[in-house]
Amino acid sequence: MSAPGRAPLYGVRVLDISTLFAGPLAATFLGDFGADVIKVEHPSKPDASRGHGPAKDGVNLWWKTLGRNKRTVTLNLGQADGAAVLLELVRSADVLIENFRPGTLERWGLGPDELLAANPALVIARVTAFGQFGPYSARPGFGSLAEAMSGFAALTGEPDGPPTLPPFGLADGIAALATSYAVMVALRSAEATGRGQVVDMAIIEPILMLLGGQITAFDQLGTVQPRTGNRSVNNAPRNVYRTADDEWVAVSTSSQSIAERVMTLVGRPELVDEPWFSSGHSRAQHADELDEAVASWVAARPTAVVLEEFERAQAAVAPVYDVRGILADPQYAALGTVQTVDDDELGQVKMQNVLFRLSETPGAIRFTGRPHGHDTEEVLDEIGITAEQRAALRERGIL
């Protein structure tokens, strides 16, 4: 764990007034590298992510990761006194992340005009399903809709099966990464100019970039990428294959040299000499033949032997893990990908480490997700709201 003063975002204050996943996860990424993240939640309606997924002894487990490195405060922003307190917090903040439907903050007197009047250098990240304008902007929406609208679901699944949604918040996670990047870009601009700005992040957009060149291909060729299951339209063999001990491995041949090594390894070197083998796209048109060769070779050997032989041949392979495999894998262990962190409620918990390693200013998990409102007194005291004022606000349901 690095000293707080060495963290690259030390001194940056982030107000996280968003809920569920994309906005809060973006704030988590910033907090992991030293930002002072203040999580603001309604006094009687905590962030809904506290109720998602499994819990132990009444303590939500996903929140321990999503809420890490965040001080938690309760505040009713829909009341004038609560909005006034938030504006006081804004004066000392650098970033505000929100994901209310467009017009909600404006209705509370907390729109960008008011926020930037309180702090002209503030970066305001507005994360919504569809963006701040357009015919869908007022609709409710979640990442699943982005996965559907982006083409991801249409591409995912077996050719004769239905479009398939992921069993986790993929579009939210991609939007969170994009939001944290956008915030850093806007902070750099604010540092140079002294002026903040609004980041308009629509969850339906960032996932499009990760889906590759489908838009350009349709524009230029009129082609629509089909569902291909675990296969790829860009290379073959590329699939998952069952081993002799009833486990699965994934094989990819994105480069020509790897494809040649794989086919030599599985005893079909003559296929390398076929004219169609010379490019990934043309190999994909012969996926049945290539898959049969790899699948039959893999099926005759236990997983350990498959992995050993692929490694010896310098061909790309990986076991298909569930969480048990992740925790036992020596590469993840060497990287420190999973960390054990002290927690006031659960003792110790394991969770994913920060996203990447910096050689001079590393990030760190300073503490895990805290209970609802845990730091209200401390944070409001820092901005000069007295104990008497806090008591009065609490009596009126503002805190």
User: Which residues are known catalytic residues?
Assistant: 172
- The answer to whether 200 touches 178, Cβ cutoff 8 Å, is no
Peptide bond into 237 cis (omega under 30): yes
Tokens of 309: 């032989």
Determine how many CB atoms are found less than 10 A away from the CB of residue 62: 17
- The answer to whether 71 touches 37, Cβ cutoff 8 Å, is yes
- The answer to whether 197 touches 189, Cβ cutoff 8 Å, is yes
d(CA 105, CA 97): 12
All residues at 6 or more sequence positions from 197 whose CB lies less than 8 Å from its CB, including other chains: 123, 124, 186, 189, 190
Token match 């790829």: residue?
Answer: 232
- The answer to whether 244 touches 302, Cβ cutoff 8 Å, is yes
Bridge partners of 250, per DSSP, are 240, 318
- The answer to whether 393 touches 85, Cβ cutoff 8 Å, is yes
Give the three-class secondary structure for 249.
strand
| Radius of gyration of the CA atoms of the chain, in A | 25
d(CA 23, CA 118): 22
Distances (CA, A) of 380 to 115, 272, 386, 393: 18, 69, 8, 11
Determine how many CB atoms are found less than 10 A away from the CB of residue 245: 11
Residue type, 320: V
All residues at 6 or more sequence positions from 4 whose CB lies less than 8 Å from its CB, including other chains: 10, 34, 366
